[in-house]
Structure 1
Amino acid sequence: MQVTHVNPYARLPRPYRSMHTVDSTVDAEGRAHWLLSERPPATGRAPKSNGHEPYDALVVTVGDGAPQETHLSAVAHPRGLLGALPDGGFVVAGARTRRTARPGEQVQVFDALGRASWTFDVGDAVEHLLVGADGDLWVGHFDENPAGIRRWSASGELLWESGDTVPGAGWIMDCYALNLGRHAVWACPYTEFPVLEIREGEPVRVRSNSVRGARALAVAGERIVFFGGYGHDADRLVVCGTTGSGVEPVESARVVRPDGGPLGRRHVVSRDARVYVLDTEWYVLDAGGAVPAS
């Protein structure tokens, strides 16, 4: 099979590598952020709460220039999902509400100085949490929550939701892939894996799709690139063209590291034409140039 190489993108600076990584993400401006703690926070126990003591954490941001540090106090979630706000603040969210100490505390919002500001809930079973350039949170749920895909303000106001069904797309049982772009949001949900194009003030556009199980997608004009899949297809790349009502595969390849080795465990973030892939460091795939090579 043909292969395509991911390109190096961002690496956690060496002085911080002895710390425990809770989560990492890439924001709307392309900056990489790591949520770090001195020790695995899951080892702390607190009676009659969510089972874990709050801990102090450090966010390290890598973009242009020197790395930046933001110290967060009293982080509640031992395996929190990290999002970066455009004002320099951050959100840390628990994927499961049943692991939250009290209702209304699933999402913690921290200001640019790392101070906890307020909390709110976005619903159980969070698969994807992406923050846009406007500061809104887009949340895609997995199959234990039928809410589908929802948009929240950073203050906790529900702004939009897909519901468990979308006309022409069927049942939105599990948001497998979510891409938060500047002008549109793209999603590929289980069970039929349609490609959803969500634009503010417009009905959701639905395209049929035969690519099953992708965990990320990138969009460049009329080209859509899917990454991931079931089993042996975990490293699969499928390049597709779009028609009026569907998505048609054009070519496929296996994704490898820059040195040609296989990817290990990975986390993905999809934004516009790019899929950011976190293995031991952040790599990037660009839909505009993701052409398989022999």
Structure 2
Amino acid sequence: MQIHHYLNFADAIAGQQIAAVGIGPDADLILLVIDPSDSSAAFGRYVSPAGASFPHASTPRTYPASVLHWKNGSFRRVDIAALDVAHPKIQPMADGGILIVASRCNFNSGAPDKNAALYDSQGRLVRRWVFGDGIQDVQVSRDQRIWVSYFDEGIFGNRGWNTPLGSTGLQCFDTEGETLWRFEPPAGFDQICDCYAMNVADDGVWACYYTDFPIVHISKNLETQGWSNNIDGARAIAVTRRKALLWGGYSTNRKRCVVQSFGNDYMTSSQELDFTLPGDTPSPITHTIGRASTLHFIAGMSWYQFDLHTLS
């Protein structure tokens, strides 16, 4: 399995801490970076009387942040003076804008947190809206549809959400925050209980979800098709016309890579691949993201890629 070392961004970060990683539709890398002293504000947690730890839905104060964006050989840096998004996700927008989303959202008795924030290319806030609680991933398509996947708490309800916004597990929004589409499973497949992996590609959207981990495709016309799959727990997916690669799993399978072929309604010909980063790379992989046919990895201060087409 040939992993390509694409970029070392240590000089661009210059001592800051990565707060969020995103991959855009052009296989572009976008990072949200902060000063380490602001980590407690961006990633605050509280402990319940029973001793359980929970992430804050909002920040106790604002913090300065910078957006680093590499696209088609160019680089830009955008500073945001006062960000108030907790446990952030990030995506680039086509006009140079930046979407930053908090993964948690309190319902607040009908006045929910506006946990999605859109900034312009200069780092100025444009608008805010609600994406709901329990956000697993956010990816923006080339035509500026915003796809949001949810984990179990965002589907079944927590933080005051009796009717969660993310109850279907996968939704599509426009750039005004209006819902364009909500997931309904293909015939013969269960609803999403926890959307483990999502990949927004030019041919549509791919997802793999709990409980039975089918691989599902949502076409550009928002039609769904599913394939049964016996590889459980995958956290990222890359696809070509004929194959799918599932990355990750439970326990000792957290770095598992399995390639399968698409059958009529089930995945076939499973092949587990040996996975190593090139060279001497002691840093652990901290982020794995699938966009189209490529898996993107962040390890230490480096960006790596693997294109599934190299196996086809």
Task: Give the TM-score normalised by the residue count of structure 1.
Answer: 0.89
| Structure 1 residues 31 and 23, CA gap change in structure 2 (3 angstroms) | same
Superposition pairs for residues 64-79 of structure 1, below 5 Å? 64-79=72-87
| Structure 1 residues 222 and 260, CA gap change in structure 2 (3 angstroms) | farther
Equivalents in 2 of 1:44, 1:203: separation in Å?
A: 41
Q: Which amino acid aligns with 1:188?
A: C
The question of 1:119 aligning with 2:128 is answered: yes
Equivalents in 1 of 2:243, 2:309: separation in Å?
A: 8
Structure 2 partner of 1:62? 70
Alignment RMSD, CA only? Answer: 2.4
Equivalents in 2 of 1:69, 1:224: separation in Å?
A: 34
The question of 1:243 aligning with 2:263 is answered: yes
Deviation at 1:134, TM superposition (A): 1.5
Equivalents in 2 of 1:85, 1:11: separation in Å?
A: 23
- Aligned pair count reads 284
Structure 1 partner of 2:171? 150
Structure 2 partner of 1:37? 34
The question of 1:141 aligning with 2:150 is answered: yes
Deviation at 1:50, TM superposition (A): 3.2
Structure 2 partner of 1:86? 94
Equivalents in 1 of 2:121, 2:74: separation in Å?
A: 17
Deviation at 1:155, TM superposition (A): 1.3
Deviation at 1:63, TM superposition (A): 3.1
Q: Which amino acid aligns with 2:119?
A: F
Q: Which amino acid aligns with 2:173?
A: W
Deviations 1:212-256, CA, capped at 9 Å, x for gaps: 111111111111111111111111111111111111133112321
The question of 1:191 aligning with 2:199 is answered: no
Q: Identity over the aligned pairs, expressed in percent?
A: 23
- Does 219-228 or 258-267 show the bigger shift? 258-267
Superposition pairs for residues 124-273 of structure 1, below 5 Å? 124-146=133-155, 147=167, 148-163=169-184, 166-259=186-279, 264-273=284-293
Deviation at 1:128, TM superposition (A): 0.9
Structure 2 partner of 1:12? 9
Structure 1 partner of 2:160? none
Q: 2:60 aligns with which of 36, 43, 52?
A: 52
Equivalents in 2 of 1:216, 1:260: separation in Å?
A: 24
| Structure 1 residues 18 and 263, CA gap change in structure 2 (3 angstroms) | closer
Aligned to 1:14, the other structure's residue is in SS state helix
Q: Which amino acid aligns with 2:112?
A: P
Aligned partners of 1:43 and 1:52 also within 8 Å: no
Aligned to 1:197, the other structure's residue is in SS state strand
Q: Which has the higher contact order (CA 8 A, sep 6+)?
A: 1
| Structure 1 residues 167 and 262, CA gap change in structure 2 (3 angstroms) | farther
- Does 213-222 or 60-69 show the bigger shift? 60-69
Q: Which amino acid aligns with 1:19?
A: Q
Q: Which amino acid aligns with 1:156?
A: G
Equivalents in 2 of 1:120, 1:20: separation in Å?
A: 27
Deviation at 1:29, TM superposition (A): 1.1
- Unmatched tracts of structure 2, length 5 or more: 45-56, 156-166
Deviation at 1:198, TM superposition (A): 0.2
- Does 261-270 or 202-211 show the bigger shift? 261-270
Deviation at 1:260, TM superposition (A): 6.7
Equivalents in 2 of 1:238, 1:50: separation in Å?
A: 37
Deviations 1:23-50, CA, capped at 9 Å, x for gaps: 121211122111112344344599xx93
Equivalents in 2 of 1:76, 1:99: separation in Å?
A: 17
Q: Which amino acid aligns with 1:124?
A: D
Deviations 1:75-110, CA, capped at 9 Å, x for gaps: 11142111110110101110000399x724200000
Q: Which amino acid aligns with 2:152?
A: D
| Structure 1 residues 113 and 167, CA gap change in structure 2 (3 angstroms) | same
Deviation at 1:138, TM superposition (A): 0.6
Equivalents in 1 of 2:268, 2:282: separation in Å?
A: 27
The question of 1:282 aligning with 2:290 is answered: no
